[in-house]
Structure 1
Amino acid sequence: MTPDAATLAQFLSAIHPYDAMEPAALHTLIDAFSVQSFVAGEDVYALGKPLDGLFVVFEGEVEIRDEHGVPLSLLGPRNSFGERGLLRDGTSVTSARAVVDTILLLLPARQFHQTMQGDPTFKKFFDRSRADRPTKADLATTRVEELMARSPLTCAPDTPVQDAARLMRDAHVSSICISDSETLRGIVTVRDLSGKVVGNGLPFDTPISDVMTPDPVTLTPSAIGSDVLHMMMERRIGHVPVTQAGQLVGIVTQTDLTRFQAVSSAELVSEIARSTSAEEMAKVTARIPQLLAQLVAGGNRHEVITRLITDIADTATRRLLALAEAALGAPPVPYLWLACGSQGRQEQTGVSDQDNCLFIDDSMADADMAYFEALARFVCDGLDTCGYVYCPGDMMATNPRWRQPVRVWRDYFAGWIKTPNPEAQMLASVMFDLRPIGGTVRLFDDLHAETLAKASANSIFVAHMVSNSLKHTPPLGLLRGFATIRSGEHKNHIDLKHNGVVPVVDLGRIYALQGQLTPANTAARLDAAMAAGVLSASGGQDLRDAYDLIAETRLDHQAAQVRAGQAPDNYLSPTNLSDFERSHLRDAFVVIKSMQSAVGHGRGMLG
């Protein structure tokens, strides 16, 4: 049955982004929608055809397919489609067909573009671009929820002051919040204990409520950092509780503000460069999660954050090489330490193991290998001490296989390209991400160019690499859902690394191989592929936007874990996302699946 105007208004008012629009703008937009009906099996639109506008499923189901007929999505009521084509050149980049009898709402293309220009809420939802994010971390742009400690120390009002003091001592904090059923009643600081209790000679069994500052000034999580600073300066206080709906949810201290403003990648790099042992470096690298959370809070782009974090790992590696040479003596022949994996691509996050190898000059004698074995052990052990845990797959210079003269490495690459069996595909994938870290760079330059040329010229090898790159698939389920992990520790979560970031990393590597492009960084590879014509501008930008969103969602997730006092990981529960976030994340996965389909059908570009 065709919905009337009232039903249509009620339906759209419950869907994001329409539910967040101003009432007048929403009513104008609702009036522009028309109703269209399709019988089961009928095409809504075909690939490459002009789009009439944005579609919203009111009733029924619509299947979206890519240019090769591969199903991408099965959409049910409340789901939108068609915006990708409208935001490009107005033509469809997919095909759509009604699976059952279906009723769709159509917002004409003209009204869609007008609303994109005039309503920021609408634009934010349908435009995947992340270019409008702030790029500098400062107190004026950082919300209190990014700064606060989320589990402030608390005690009941009748707690003896001595017991409260012991709680503060054991927790290594300078304040304690007095709460009653999570409702904030007051706050006591170290200064209160010294001035009011010790200074006035009060008994140690005095209730903490007798010396607390009652009903202290507070801020909400949505306040900004400069609000905290101004409040502290005006009222001459060093602790600001954070409350929401009357409930205590956190606390910000002067130390938090100082730490936020002081921690930088440059500071960590400087301290590591002056360290005299791996243990000293470990104290510095332990602050990387805090740096990550700060960089995310400041709205920095993911490639900036991961580059800065990787720079710290690079510095630690080079410092360990220097310490190794100081302990072992000068190397008998030139060598080059290289990183692969996320460090090689300059894409490290708060969770990183080590992947590395050692190239040794061909002039080495057999007796020289003992020196390089000791050097590899010194550096890899040091990296593990610093938190870069040993590679589970033993892809490290401590493995004799990955500590060889250049001539052996040349044979490795030649063999993998000539006989691309599954192991060769895996190893080639890792080794195409190599990046020199410390030593004699010339040992790698010729081999890198030579390998790229041979690999790209071997169509069988490229085909095998393409097949290998499609093994990691986006976690797409039916009806706009996600295919979550079914069992184990991370049940009902999605793996943002292996099913989100890695598929794009694999695609970027294929484009680099096809175009003989030298960058190892994924974002740089995508940009270079578009510049070289390996990727079309439209398809490449879609993939770049999808990658940006997934990579930044991953970092947002890790930063939230750090702020909550948890170890960062890559496993996200979709239930922690808003409707807006789920919609965009799933759209990003659909783009990746489309690009995988294009590559799998022998095409390097989409659209």
Structure 2
Amino acid sequence: MPHTPDPAVLAFLESVHPYDSLPQDEMARVALSFSRRDFTSGEEVYHAGEPLKGLYLIKRGSVEVLEPSGGLVSLLGPRNSFGERGLMRDGQAVTTARVTEDATLLLLPTDIFRRLIADFPAFERFFNRGRNSAEGRRNDLTVQKVGDLMARRPITVAPSETIRAAAQKMRDAHVSSLGVVEEGRFLGIVTTRDMTNKVLAGGMDPAGPVAQVMTADPVSLTPDSLGSDILHVMLERRIGHLPVVEDGRLVGMVTQTDITRFQAVSSAQLVRDAAIADTVEDMAAVTARIPRLLVQLVGGNNAHEVVTRLITDIADTVTRRLIALAEAELGPAPVPYVWAACGSQGRQEQTGVSDQDNCLIIDDAATEADMAWFERLATFVCDGLNACGYVYCPGDMMATNPRWRARQSTWRSYFEGWIAKPDPMAQMLASVMFDLRPIGGQASLFRDLQGETLEKAAQNSIFVAHMIQNSLKHTPPLGLLRGFATIRSGEHKNHIDMKHNGVVPVTDLGRVYALIGQLDAANTRARLEGAEQAGVISTSGARDLIEAYDLIAQTRLENQARLIRSGRAPDNFLAPYDLSDFERSHLRDAFVVVRTMQSAIGSARGARS
């Protein structure tokens, strides 16, 4: 055996949790212990009942894990491990693992794996959580990147080619859809359903150009979207084909055939049920299942940003469904508008407990009579959200408030006023509104406003300084002598508020970084990553803060899941001494990182003022 690990293996392990938590010398020893094995598509790695040789880690390719009966447990990709269930029992494989795409696997010997479980709590926690949950295993599928799931060389057709030629191309390539592309630019999609409904049943001339039968500018995803996004879009919009587009170019296609193994994912089921609900009561029955979903997702070792994204997707679907029901009752909108969410829904960070924060941006052509229509829309949707568990905002930050139901020009004047005179109220309102995200309607009404506002705000040094000051109001709960500053009295005495003193300080920092870098992302983690790429914060600072945020946000979700499992409603209050010494120590270290980053940005502000 060589004395130094393969640099490629070492670099790969540093990107995989929980190996990334190992001390450097231990990481090197573990990297030396791995052996490499290559498999071809269709080859079995092991069969149920066979002795296991160790823990498998996927470096390249994909592997499906099957129950003894042949049912799918999970479809795994790079950085996923498998085989641990058998190693933690009697060393016999309890499932069958088969390669579905040529793969390179790294094999960690059984004795090394068991030593890591015994010596490092992060390993024990990672491989123990949810290992007996088939639902948790299936949830692994939702976190695959679209870029890993799509057909990488989509079949295309020019808009001027005939419908008959397009049909022949689909037949010859054994595909059910074609991307319509002209000079590299993606224009639309044509499917076998289009051929059936529009050409055969509709009597369209097959000699006509394919542009006549295609769906122009269809909904699409990017390669870095999640597998869950595919499910949610397909189920909500009832479509079977999704183009994958990057910078205006078609780079792949995902179909229902590609995701048949994903159909059991419970978050997608909730989205589907919400999308077809006919009444508010039906939607409320769907959202009542969210706490159970949260428990399953957390138990399945899903990262916090995946859990909150999936939960937010349900709120988005409920909101759009309520808008559709309102328009069915009230009639079509008199002028274009966009319904936007702010707060945790706007940032795609909803947990098991969320109120509603929303607004309406309305085209300037709206008359006073038109505005009365939008008042009825806002009432219908906000009342429906409240009935579904997204309770009314205590601060009345909702579209039912006339102030937050306004024409685009009024919104423009709001932002200009806040930027020009950044008093405490303006800072608070700007903080809320910088988290806006379009949910339904014409998104361009918001996009235009967002671009203008970010540019003006970032160029106003006084406004930026005030926003920085505002971001320092929420502080991590750090006490003396390596303790925590807990709540001193009341219902939550001796607890930490994991929202206002946990995730909110990081959310506030992320918002300021996005402002300085003129980044249009609303999600906190995406803002931190974008700030690093834009040079707003250093690579080391960004990595430390992201890891601290991940730990804080994950701990918050795990605590909510514990409360739900115990039969209580989830909240944001954590008793730190319910955690182990190891967990408390790491949580405190994470809070120290946040305070350090707050001090850094505060010092930078002082130097500029």
Give me the TM-score of the superposition, normalised by structure 2. 0.58
Residue 312 of structure 1 pairs with residue 314 of structure 2: yes
Per the alignment, residue 139 of structure 1 pairs with: 133
Match of 1:370 among 369, 372, 394: 372
Change beyond 3 A, Cα 1:130–1:303 = farther
Q: 1:326 to 1:137 in 2, by over 3 A?
A: farther
1:460 alignment partner in structure 2: 462
1:317-357 C-alpha deviation (Å, 9 max, x unpaired): 00000000000001111110000000000000000000000
Q: How does 1:189-200 map to 2 (within 5 A)?
A: none
Do the aligned partners of 1:133 and 1:300 also contact (CA within 8 Å) in 2? no
Q: Contact 1:137–1:294 (CA<8 Å) still a contact in 2?
A: no
- Counterparts of 1:270-349 in structure 2, within 5 Å, are 270-349=272-351
In the TM superposition, what whole-angstrom CA distance separates every residue of 1:476-519 from its partner, at most 9, and x where no partner exists? 00111100001111111000000000000000000000100111
Q: What is the CA–CA distance in structure 2 between the aligned matches of 1:459 and 1:498, rounded to whole Å?
A: 27
Is the partner of 1:359 in helix, strand or coil?
strand
Give SS of 2:453's match.
Answer: helix
SS for the counterpart of 2:553 is helix
1:533 to 532, 535, 540: 535
Cα distance in structure 2, aligned partners of 1:555 and 1:475: 18
Q: How far is 1:394 from its partner? A: 0.2
Distance 1:602 1:536 in 2: 13
Distance in 1 (CA, whole Å) between partners of 2:554 and 2:462 is 35
Count of matched residue pairs? 372
CA distance in 2, matches of 1:123, 1:599: 38
C-alpha change, 1:563 and 1:456, in structure 2 (3 Å) is same
Match of 1:495 in 2: 497
Q: CA deviation at 1:137?
A: 7.9
Q: Residues 135 and 567 from structure 1, CA distance in 2 versus in 1: closer, same or farther, beyond 3 angstroms?
A: closer
The question of whether the paired residues in 2 share the 8 Å contact of 1:396 and 1:402 is answered with yes
* 1:574 correspondence with 2:576: yes
Deviation readout 1:119-166 (Å, 9 max, x if unpaired): 8479957x9x999779998736969xxxxxxxxxxxxxxxxxxxxxxx
CA-to-aligned-CA distance 1:13-36 (integer Å, 9 cap, x gap): xxxxxxxx9xxx9xxxxxxxxxxx
Q: Is the CA contact (8 Å cut-off) linking 1:356 and 1:395 kept in structure 2? A: yes
Instruction: Specify the SS of the correspondent of 1:602.
Output: helix
1:469/1:506 contact within 8 Å kept: yes
Change in Cα spacing, 1:325 to 1:137, as seen in structure 2 (3 Å) is: farther
Map of 1:55-70 to 2, 5 A cutoff?
none
**Normalised by the size of structure 1, how large is the TM-score?**
0.58
What residue identity is the alignment partner of 2:371? M
Q: Distance in 2 between matches of 1:275 and 1:505?
A: 33
CA contact (8 A) 2:339 2:438 kept: yes
Deviations 1:289-322 (A, max 9, x none): 0000000000000000000000000000000000
1:592 to 591, 594, 601: 594
Match of 2:442 in 1: 440
Unpaired runs of 5+ residues, structure 1, are: 1-20, 26-116, 144-260
Offset of 1:277 from its aligned partner?
A: 1.1
C-alpha root-mean-square deviation of aligned residues, in Å?
2.8
Structure 1 residue aligned with 2:414:
412
Distance of 1:463 and 1:118 partners within structure 2? 52
Q: Deviations over 1:256-314 (max 9, x none)?
A: xxxxx956110000001110111110001000000000000000000000000000000
The 3-state SS of whatever aligns with 1:555 is: helix
Q: How does 1:548-563 map to 2 (within 5 A)?
A: 548-563=550-565
Task: Report if the CA contact (8 A) 1:332-1:368 is conserved.
Answer: yes
Gapped regions of structure 2 (runs ≥ 5): 1-21, 27-112, 138-262
**In the alignment, does 2:355 pair up with 1:353?**
yes
Greater relative contact order structure (CA < 8 Å, 6+ sep): 1
Is the 1:137–1:300 contact (alpha carbons within 8 Å) kept by the matching residues of 2? no
Amino acid paired to 1:357: C
CA contact (8 A) 1:484 1:493 kept: yes
Distance 2:124 2:460 in 1: 37
State the percentage of identical aligned residues.
69
Distance 1:535 1:136, change over 3 A: farther
**Paired residue secondary structure (2:604):** coil
Decide whether the 8 Å contact of 1:135 with 1:301 is kept in 2. Answer: no
Q: 1: distance between equivalents of 2:403 and 2:269?
A: 36
Q: Aligned AA for 1:555?
A: L
Match of 1:153 in 2: none
For residues 451 and 474 of structure 1, do their structure 2 counterparts lie closer, same or farther at Cα, with a shift above 3 Å needed?
Answer: same
Instruction: Give 1:421's aligned residue.
Output: 423
Residue 126 of structure 2 contacts residue 301 of structure 2 at CA under 8 Å; is this kept in 1?
no
Give CA deviations for 1:520-565 in whole Å, capped at 9, x if unaligned.
0000000111111111111110000000000000000000111111
Report the equivalent of 1:504: 506
| Counterpart amino acid of residue 596 in structure 2 | S
Distance in 2 (CA, whole Å) between partners of 1:140 and 1:595 is: 40
> What whole-Å deviation, never above 9, does each CA across 1:26-52 have from its counterpart, x for those lacking one?
xxxxxxxxxxxxxxxxxxxxxxxxxxx
Mark the CA change 1:351 to 1:140 in structure 2 (over 3 Å): closer, same or farther: closer
* Structure with the greater alpha carbon radius of gyration: 1
Cα distance change of structure 1 residues 118 and 588 upon mapping to structure 2, 3 Å threshold: farther
